[in-house]
Amino acid sequence: MTKNEDFQEEIGNDHIATSAQTPMRDDAFVISDEEKIELIKKDVEHILNTLGLDLTDDSLKGTPNRVAKMFVKEIFGGLNPNKKPSSSTFDNKYKYGEMLVEKNIVVYSTCEHHLLPIIGRAHIAYISNGTVVGLSKMNRVVDYYAKRPQVQERLTIQVVQELQKVLGTDDVACVIDAKHLCVNSRGIRDIESSTVTAEFGGKFKEDKVRREFLDYIKLDTKF
């Protein structure tokens, strides 16, 4: 193995993020989703055939098409900018000036190093400077940036940056606690560990404000 291959392997095994932006080619959307599905279908067929599987078996014959559609339409659908949530906001007519926290947002993403699931929870907070967003908007932003090959650090940053842009304020924070199946099911196979990442903007860099947010996350909401 060459020195460059060793370096690339180390990045993947240590789950290192190299950019705050999703690395995309300029020609990423030259072909349609339908064309991508057909191309990926053939690639999956090639992988399964190489592994020695019999694709004439009833259980397997539809797998290449299912996987291709899942990649393009579902788990990597957030790569398509046309699926980005709308940036609509509302005036803060109640003059609510305290912190608003949306916690326990479900995160389903995919590790870009091994293409295995990342499953966890996101907690988001912001302090309005005159505008607010609907509560479900925060869930949709998380879902959009999660539906792509991802690194948890990047996902955390992207969620904060998007909400800062939408709300017109730096006062946004996000904490994500997630399990990585590339750690849990392969390699070290540690099924107990999880990864916590955080991004604090504006007032959330202040100890008192950050502590208030983290205390809210600890609340055990039961119904």
Which stretches in the chain have pLDDT values below 50? Answer: none
Q: 160 with 182: CB under 8 angstroms?
A: no
- The structural domains of the chain, ordered by start, are 29-75 (1.10.286.10), 90-218 (3.30.1130.10)
pLDDT digits (tens, 9 = 90+) for 66-121: 999 999 999 999 999 999 999 889 988 888 889 999 999 999 999 999 999 999 99
Q: How many residues does the chain have?
A: 223
pLDDT digits (tens, 9 = 90+) for 58-71: 999 999 999 999 99
Q: 142 with 172: CB under 8 angstroms?
A: no
> Strands 172-180 and 195-200: what pairing?
antiparallel
CA 83 – CA 38 distance, rounded (Å) = 21
Its pTM stands at 0.89
The 3-state DSSP class for residue 16 equals coil
Catalytic residues: 111-114, 152, 180, 182
